[in-house]
Amino acid sequence: MSMSPLRTTAPAADSHPPRRLAQGAELTTVDGRRGTHFRIWAPTRSSVEILLEESSGGEQAVHRLEREPDGHWSSFVADAGAGARYRVRLDEDGQGFPDPASRSLPEGPHGPSEIVDPAAFAWTDSLWTGLPLHGQLLYELHVGTFSPEGTWQGAMAKLPLLQALGVTAVEVMPVAEFPGRFGWGYDGVAWFAPSHLYGTPDDFRRFVNEAHRLGLGVLLDVVYNHLGPDGNYLEQFSPRYLAEHTNEWGRGMNFDGADCGPVRRYVTDNAAYWIDEFHLDGLRLDATQALTDGSAEHIIAALGRAARTAAGGRRLLLIGENEPEDANLMRSTELGGLGLDGLWNDDLHHAMNVALTGRRQAYYGDYAGTASEWLAAVKHGFLFQGQRSVWQGKRRGHPARGLPSASFVTFLENHDQVANSLGSSRLWTQSNPACHRALTALLLLGPWTPMLFQGEEWSSTAPFHYFADHTAELARAVREGRATFMSQFPGCVRGSEPSLLPDPSSPDLPEASRLRWEERDLPAHAASLRLHTDLAALRRSDPTLGAHAATGVSIEVAALTATCGIIRYFVDGPIGSAGPRERLLIVNLGADLVLPTIAEPLLSPPGRTQYGCWRIVWSSEDPRYGGHGCAEPDSEEKGWRIPGAATVLLGPLPLV
C-alpha cells in the first residue's frame, strides 16, 4: 500500500510546494533542493520563525516564515532533513514552542518537534483491503500496560496471541502525545505526534504493518472534544483554536465560531493523517456528545469524510462513544445522520453488569439486569431510545430502528468501566463464575459487534486503574476530581476524603495494571482463555452464527423468566432446508428449570416441517471451561430441562 496525498494545500506563493497537511513540517523538494516546508497558523502574530537545531554544537538556525493572507505562515528551508529538531518562535519572543502539528515530539509535549519522513517506512500491506462492519471481534488495549515492555514493540510481539484468540481488530487507546511518564492518553495535547513513551512513529507503523500481516485490523481511539491541561500550546498560536463554551473536561474546540475554518481543518487533517500515514483501519471517537458544532456540516461528518477519502478505497470503520446514545450518528449523511459505522452500547453493558453483580448504584440504577433487557438489546440495540432516565432526570437516547445489529459495539469490560469499579477490579471477580461464562457466551454469540478488553480473555487478575502523571498542583486537582466522580458509588469516598481510591499520580498504578501474561498457563485462566477462543471460533465458523447479520437470517427473542431468555436464529430457504441451520441460544442466569411444557413458539422443534429435535452444539458449562456439564435440555418424555447459570447453543439433528 503506497502513500497517496491526503489532499494538497497551495500556500500563497506559487513557489511553495503542495502539502499533505495544512500545517506542520513536510519534507519536499523545491527547485531540485531537498528540504522541509514549514507552515503554521498564527493569525494574530506579527512574526513566526523556525528555530532549527544544528547538528553540531546545539546551536539554532533561525528561519523566518512568510505571512499568507489567511493567517498562515510558511517557508521552505533547504537541507532541513528527517530527524532534525525545531521549535516555533512567535513575535521573536523566547525559545519557541512545539509545532501544533508535530509529527514527533521525542522529548515529550514540552520539548522540540522533530521532522519526520512518513514515506520512509517500507510497508508490506499492499494487499490489505480494510475492515467491513460485519464479522468483527474487537480488542481494546492500552499500549503502556498491554505488554511487559509497555511499548509498540512489546505489543507487537503479542499480536500472534490475539490472532490465535480469534480477534479481528485491535482498538488502541489514545496515543497522541501527553505529559508525564504514564497516562491513559485522554489528555493528549499534540494530536499528530504518537507518544514518545511507546516508541517512535515508525514503531507505531511497524505495529500496524505486522497486524495487517497477521490479518488483524487496527483502530485508534482519538480525542477531539478537548485538550489536556498540561502542554497545550495552541492558544499561543491563536486564541481561536478553543471555543468559548466548556464541557466537562474544559474548553472545547472552536468548530463553529469566528475563524473556525483552520481549526476544523486541523481536526479533519488529523483524522485523515492517522488513516493515511499509519494505514489505520478506523477511528474510535471519544465522547462525541461533547463535540459541539452548529455548522452546516457537523465536524463528525467532516472528519469522517476526510478519513474515508484518505483510505483510498480501503474499508474503514468509524466508531463513536456517545453517552446520550444518539443513534442518528450512525445514519448516513444522506439521511441526515453523521455517517459513523457504530457506537459503543453502554446500555447493554450496564444491564449485564447488574445481572452479574446485583448492584444498581449510580448510572446502573436505570437497569434491572433482567433477561428482557438483554433480549431487547439483541433486537433493538440501545435500551434507551427516548425514554426518561431516572438517574439523569431527563429523556435519553434516540430511535435506532433500521440500523444493523453490527453497529452496536458491545462489551462486558472496557477501560472506563473496569476503572470505575471499586478497586478497579475485573468483572469476573465480582460475579458468579458460571453466570459470567454464560454472559460471555451471549457477548460473543450475539448479533452485535463484540469487544474484549485486554486480558479479559484469560480472566486477568490485573486491575485497570485510572492513572495520570501530572505536576503536583494539577495532580491534586485530578485526584480531587476523581474522588468527586467516584462519589456516586457508595463506599468509594467518605465526605470529601478518599477512602479506597488510589492516587492517580502514583507510578504504582500503571505497574499494577500491567497484564500478567504468565497467568494464561494457570489452570483456571487457561480454561477462561479456552472459553473465549472456542466462542470466537464458533462465531466465525458456524454456518448460521457466522452469517447472522447477513440476508437470510432473522432473529426472534423471548424471556422465559426474569433470568432466562432464548434467542432463535431462523434461516430463510426452501422448506426443509432451514432445519439443520437453525440455532437456539438459551441464556439462563437463574436456577435449573424443569418444565413439562412451555407455551412459547420459539421453542418449537427446528425446521419448517416441525420435525426433529434440538441437541446441544455448545455449552458454557462444558468442564473444559470450568463448568459442571449439562444434559440435553429437550426430551419428548420428560419435557424441558434448562440448566441454570449457563448458556447453551442448540442445533437440530443432523447438523451440517
201-213 vs 152-165: helix axis angle to the nearest 10?
20
Q: Can the peptide bond before residue 510 be classed as cis, meaning omega within 30 degrees of 0?
A: no
CA atoms within 13 A on the CB side of 171: 29
Q: Which pLDDT band, with edges at 50, 70 and 90, does 26 fall under?
A: very high
Instruction: For the chain, give every domain's residue range.
Output: 543-652
What are φ and ψ of residue 176, in 5° steps?
-60, 140
What are φ and ψ of residue 302, in 5° steps?
-65, -45
pLDDT at 489: 87
What are φ and ψ of residue 35, in 5° steps?
-175, -155
Q: For residue 509, which of 42, 69, 180 has the smallest C-alpha distance?
A: 180
> Is the pLDDT higher at 519 or at 654?
519
pLDDT exceeding 90 applies to what percent of the chain? Answer: 81
Q: How far is CA 248 from CA 225, 252, 465, 636, in A?
A: 10, 9, 21, 59
106: which DSSP letter? Answer: T
Q: Is the pLDDT of residue 32 over 90?
A: yes
Q: For residue 197, which of 152, 227, 148, 155 has the smallest C-alpha distance?
A: 152
Residues 158-189 have pLDDT tens digits of: 999 999 999 999 999 999 999 999 999 999 99
> Could you tell me the pTM of the whole model?
0.95
Provide CATH code, domain 543-652: 2.60.40
For residues 359-364, average pLDDT = 94
Q: Is the pLDDT of residue 634 over 90?
A: no
pLDDT at 614: 87
Q: Is the pLDDT of residue 367 over 50?
A: yes
Q: Any catalytic annotation for residue 321?
A: yes
Which among 49, 187, 281, 286 is annotated as catalytic? 286
pLDDT at 655: 45
Cα 193 from Cα 180, distance rounded (Å)? 15
Listed as own residue / partner, the contacts of 7-12 with beta carbons closer than 8 Å and 24 or more positions apart are 7/272, 7/309, 9/39, 11/39, 11/68, 11/72, 11/74, 12/66, 12/68, 12/69, 12/74
Q: Is the pLDDT of residue 215 over 60?
A: yes
Which among 114, 187, 321, 542 is annotated as catalytic? 321
- Cell for 463? 486491575
For residues 236-254, average pLDDT = 92
Q: Is the pLDDT of residue 635 over 60?
A: no
Please calculate the CA angle 18-201-224 and round it to the nearest 5 degrees.
Answer: 75
Contact 596, 622 (CB under 8 A): no
pLDDT at 422: 83
Q: For residue 92, which of 53, 48, 54, 124 has the smallest C-alpha distance?
A: 48
Q: Is the pLDDT of residue 640 over 90?
A: no
Q: Is the pLDDT of residue 3 over 60?
A: no
Q: Which of 90-104, 366-380, 484-498, 536-550 has the lowest mean pLDDT?
A: 484-498
Q: Could you tell me the strand order of the sheet in which 24-30 lies?
A: 24-30, 33-41, 72-78, 66-67
Please name every residue paired with 11 in a beta bridge, in sequence order, or none if there are none: none
Q: Which pLDDT band, with edges at 50, 70 and 90, does 249 fall under?
A: confident
- Cell for 154? 512489546
Contact 255, 293 (CB under 8 A): yes
Q: Is the pLDDT of residue 9 over 90?
A: no
Q: Is the pLDDT of residue 547 over 70?
A: no
- Helices vs. strands in the chain: H and E counts, helices first: 13, 33
Helix ranges, 107-170 (H): 143-146, 152-165
Q: How far is CA 404 from CA 287, 317, 327, 447, in A?
A: 22, 14, 11, 9
Where on the phi/psi map is residue 150: left (φ > 0), alpha (ψ -120 to 50), or beta? left
Contact 466, 505 (CB under 8 A): no
Cα 107 from Cα 471, distance rounded (Å)? 17
pLDDT at 573: 67
468: which DSSP letter? Answer: B
For residues 350-377, average pLDDT = 97
Q: Which amino acid is at 394?
A: K
Contact 412, 352 (CB under 8 A): yes
CA atoms within 13 A on the CB side of 254: 16
- Cell for 199? 516508541
For residues 347-367, average pLDDT = 96
Q: How far is CA 327 from CA 85, 301, 415, in A?
A: 45, 14, 23
- Report the chain's terminal Cα–Cα distance, integer Å: 39
One DSSP character per residue, 501-521 reads: PPPTT-THHHHHHS--GGGGG
For residues 475-498, average pLDDT = 79
